[in-house]
Structure 1
Amino acid sequence: MTTKERFIEYLKIKGIGQTSFEESSGLSRGAISQKSGFSANSIEKIAIACPDLNLDWLITGNGEILKSSHTNIIAKAPMEYGKEQTRPRVPLTAAAGSLSGDSIGVTLEQCEQMPLIHQIPSYDFTMFIKGDSMSPRFESGDEIACRHIDQSRFIQWGKVHVLDTTQGFVIKRVYEDGDKIRCVSYNPEYSDFSVPKEDILSMSLVVGVVSIMEM
């Protein structure tokens, strides 16, 4: 069974039509029925639109079709109220400093649903920044828009990410460091530090920021 055949099987289970999914997810018309395989961009759109779909099963056929019910908040699908699309605002802050404190889990119900910011590329959730280690690129109080990624497959090294770790959320530029991920600040007053990959619960790419300009 090919990747597309597996995805069509998923759509049947969910009761979703191919054309309807293409329109709602941003796939080109006929992308599912074409004989050629999915592009990396199409897989990314599918992953965003189908947070319960097991990507390992989709690509390799291994495992179950659906993910475990214990899904992290940042992988949740967007919600719609009437015709207005929204995204969850996570009621926690990403530390623009070093890691400290214990991680506090949140559920989708605890998140305020905010109107979609159409000027920002596809994103899954927003949250606020606390601290000045990412200054001047990001300031304390800025609201960042983040897109969930599968860190087992592809990470854009050098880009700014939010790491959900066993010690809390942190926002940093990230680099490969063996069995760890090195976290780098923009503010030169803050030293680099590394986080063991096993302590990282999830990662998200920062794709946009909303800042309040002081007048």
Structure 2
Amino acid sequence: MKKISIQKERILQFLEFKGISKNKFYLQTGVSNGTLDKSSGLSMDTVEKFYAVYPEINPEWLITGNGSMIKDTTEALQIIDNARKTKDSVVVEQEIPLYDFEATAGLKELFSSESPRRILDTIKIPNLPKCDGAITVTGDSMYPLLKSGDIVLYKEVSMEGIFYGEMYLLSVKMDNWEEYITVKYVQKSDLGSAYVKLASQNSHHQPKDIPVEAVTAIALIKASIRINTMM
């Protein structure tokens, strides 16, 4: 097997993480076809084209392998739209309520206009897609894209209006399960249209097929906020 440069291996790792094919990479960046398969190193022109299209990558990780793949800043906002198959129009200015999810009885109740909801604060960021609310997530199933403590901004949807392959905030209740809240990719199931497959970003979490009727509430993830505090 032909050996390629370490930096190219990391670019290929990044493209796999983002679900971007080589052909799409070449089209988006204008880099010559076959560049990623050559054994030579990266030219400065290729690097500049790469960063112009994918500014979220951590340059230290690309060069040395140290740190996280995606940039971490003191207060980093990631528009999930950049990794999504569907695109939305943006709202120039909106205030998004950040809910105290621990004070609610569940996701279905949070989405209900008749249920009391405690608002911790509001988030105001220009040029975001339309969002209905925001909550803090826990767990590592979507790591490293999301990690416990991140804030996700969401738009409420129905199961009839989902786009397969996108990331969703879900409430799931099955007969032998306790109701739980999770963030997963929703994919088509091999078991038929009465089921959906829930998949994680973290490879340690196995995909699971569940009945569509087990989903009691669902929202499309529009963006996430990560706050890194120096101690």
- How high is the TM-score relative to the length of structure 2? 0.48
* Structure with a larger share of its residues in helix: 2
C-alpha contact (below 8 Å) 2:142/2:200 kept by paired residues:
yes
Of 90, 96, 100, 1:91 maps to 100
Distance in 2, matches of 1:185 and 1:124, equals 23
Match of 2:147 in 1: 139
Q: 1:108 deviation in Å? A: 4.2
Gaps of 5+ in 1: 1-40, 46-83, 94-101
Of 153, 159, 165, 2:172 maps to 165
Per-residue CA distance 1:74-112 (angstroms, 9 max, x = gap): xxxxxxxxxx9533323227xxxxxxxx94734343333
Distance in 2, matches of 1:113 and 1:86, equals 10
Identity %: 21
Q: In the alignment, is residue 110 of structure 1 matched against residue 118 of structure 2?
A: yes
Number of paired residues? 126
**Given residue 98 of structure 2, which amino acid in structure 1 is its aligned partner?**
R
Match of 1:129 in 2: 137
Which contiguous aligned blocks of 4+ residues in structure 1 show a shift greater than 3 angstroms? 102-106
Distance in 1, matches of 2:129 and 2:94, equals 14
Of 207, 218, 227, 1:192 maps to 207
Quick check: which has more Rg, 1 or 2? 2
| Aligned CA distance change for structure 1 residues 139 and 189 (closer, same or farther; 3 Å) | same
Match of 2:198 in 1: 183
Match of 2:220 in 1: 205
RMSD: 2.7
| Aligned CA distance change for structure 1 residues 136 and 115 (closer, same or farther; 3 Å) | closer
- Bigger mean CA offset, 168-177 vs 102-111: 102-111
Q: 1:137 deviation in Å? A: 0.6
**Given residue 168 of structure 2, which amino acid in structure 1 is its aligned partner?**
H
Q: Secondary structure of 2:144's partner?
A: coil
Distance in 2, matches of 1:90 and 1:181, equals 28
